[in-house]
Amino acid sequence: MEKVFIVGVGLTKIGRFYNRSAASLFREALERAVSDAGGLKPRALVVGNMTSSVLMQQDSLGALLADHSGLRGIPAFKVEAACGSGGAAFYSGYSLVKSGLADVVAVGGVEKLTEANTPVVTRALAQAADADFEVFYGATFTGLNAMLARLYMEKFGYTEEDLSYWPLRMHEYASHNPYAQLPKKTSLKEILESPVIAEPIRLYHAAPIGDGAAVVLLVRGEEKAREIARQTGKDVLVEVAGVALATDSVDLASRNDLLTLESTVKASRAALEMAGVEAGKVDYVELHDAFHVTGFASLEDLGFAPKGEAPRLWKEGRFGKGDKPEVNFSGGLKARGHPVGATGIYQIAEAAMQLRGDFPGFKASSPETALTHNIGGISTIAAVTVLRRVK
């Protein structure tokens, strides 16, 4: 079967847009992706989104966004996998184009959290956890991650300060990213003095709440991809070399090992195997760091650090510019932002731009292979994508 390529990417800045609708944000991202691909028109649309049913009281989101983006009529639907909705939508969109059902597929993500007040948003995001076994008893999503962070710190012997090097570096990277929600540098002092939101997680240890939309355009066949690259003056192609999804229980109590994100392990192995790449050969990574602990555990479970070692390696400067892999130069969920269902598409678009060499923020060292990692819940679902630069 023919290979699949990313031929266009479009992002909005992430922020709190009280005067913008989800459809307006989505249209902006889609138009940028279409323009990036030289005007190529999508023939199908898959949208990742978590909260539209609860916060916008709107279903039929796929059709709505297609219509409001000038694409009324095309096949369109929404994929939901909590915070991993974008990654899952990409997996679905990849299969649409790969199978021949559509020859140009737009995969997008959008989330609109602004306008709802904080308790309502907190409640909506908690729907990533188990309604009957966790949320019913008062758990919030941050609360569950706080328990995990405490366990990780105790088991592997880390302090609050050790884990704070994650957000420190993410803010540094984000300060270069024009799409980032928090493009400001910070300091260990500022991080450690920020308010506790669920002990031991402080405000600066967690991704912010924000609105945003991201779109990538997929086509089938190297010839088609090369034609578009020529038209748009790009000298490399971005091939989708591997895609994988894996799941775990929603409720944490029934997990085998709380500190191993098993679906991340599985999806990473499967996507790398599909791409024919070993973890050690990956040059660039965008991974899911909704909290500091999520970032470190993901680095380990993706296969880039031994279990329990990531914070130590990170503090020593590993995974930065010139290392292998280079990680989260976007600023990550922590500082680029985390518009939930759109996050997985932001990561893929950023990785694609790093491969092309035109990411408008902190630049990777000319990577050839990139991996993105997007999760829903505490890796209840994990979506891993491997991208390859083709000359």
What is the set of active-site residues?
83, 338
Binders of a second copy among residues 350 to 379 (CB under 8 A) are 376-377
**Are 214 and 32 a contacting pair, CB within 8 Å?**
no
Q: Write the DSSP symbol of residue 218.
A: E
Query: Does residue 151 bind a second copy (CB under 8 A)?
Result: no
Residue from 110, 391, 379, 69 nearest 247 by CA: 379
| Interacting residue with a second copy among 14, 56, 110, 144 (CB under 8 A) | 56
Q: Does 275 bind a second copy (CB under 8 A)?
A: no
Cβ–Cβ < 8 Å for 82, 381: yes
Q: With binding defined as CB under 8 A, does residue 135 bind a second copy?
A: yes
Closest of 163, 147, 376 to residue 259, by C-alpha: 147
Q: How far is the CB of 17 from a second copy (least distance, A)?
A: 16
Q: Tokens standing for 328?
A: 């989260």
Q: What part of residues 74-93 is at the interface with a second copy (CB under 8 A)?
A: 74-82, 85, 88, 91-92
* For a second copy, the closer CB: 117 or 233: 117
Stretch that binds a second copy, among 160-168, 238-246, 299-307, 309-317 (CB under 8 A): 238-246
Assigned token pair, 253:
């109590």
Q: Does 335 bind a second copy (CB under 8 A)?
A: no
Q: Can you tell me which of 16, 70, 99, 159 binds a second copy, judged by CB under 8 A?
A: 99
94 lines the binding site for a second copy (CB under 8 A) = yes
Inter-CA distances, 358 with 104, 189, 233, 364, Å: 22, 34, 12, 10
Determine if 25 is a binding residue for a second copy (CB under 8 A): no
Name the one range near a second copy by CB under 8 A: 56-64, 207-215, 301-309, 316-324.
56-64
At residue 46, the 3 state secondary structure works out as strand
From the CB of 50, what's the least distance to a second copy, in Å?
A: 6
* Residues in Cβ contact with 317 at an 8 Å cutoff, skipping those fewer than 6 apart: 323
Pairing status of strand 44-48 against strand 104-111: parallel
CA distance 161 to 188: 8
Do residues 1 and 101 touch, judged by C-beta distance below 8 A? no
Cα gap 105→98, rounded to integer Å: 10
CB of 216 to a second copy, least distance (A): 17
Point out which span in 26-34, 131-139, 154-162, 233-241 binds a second copy (CB under 8 A).
131-139
Instruction: Give yes or no for residue 30 binding a second copy (CB under 8 A).
Output: no
**Candidates 70-78, 154-162, 280-288, 307-315 — which segment interacts with a second copy by CB under 8 A?**
70-78
| 19: contact with a second copy by CB under 8 A | no
Cα–Cα separations (whole angstroms), residue 219 to 27, 71, 84, 93, 322: 20, 17, 23, 10, 32
Is 245 among the residues that bind a second copy (CB under 8 A)? yes
**How far apart, in whole angstroms, are the C-alpha atoms of residue 153 and residue 102?**
47
Q: Least separation, in Å, of the C-beta of 343 and a second copy?
A: 14
Q: In what order do the strands lie in the sheet with 237-247?
A: 44-48, 104-111, 212-220, 4-11, 237-247, 381-390, 369-376, 284-286, 326-327
Closer by beta carbon to a second copy, 206 or else 250: 250
Residue 62 is which amino acid?
G
Note whether 26 binds a second copy by CB under 8 A: no
Q: Which stretch in 64-72, 149-157, 204-212, 224-232 sits in contact with a second copy by CB under 8 A? A: 64-72
- Applying CB under 8 A, the residues found at the interface with a second copy are 1, 21, 44, 46, 50-51, 53-54, 56-64, 66-67, 72-82, 85, 88, 91-92, 94-96, 98-101, 123, 127-128, 130-132, 135, 243-250, 254, 262-263, 266, 376-377, 380-381
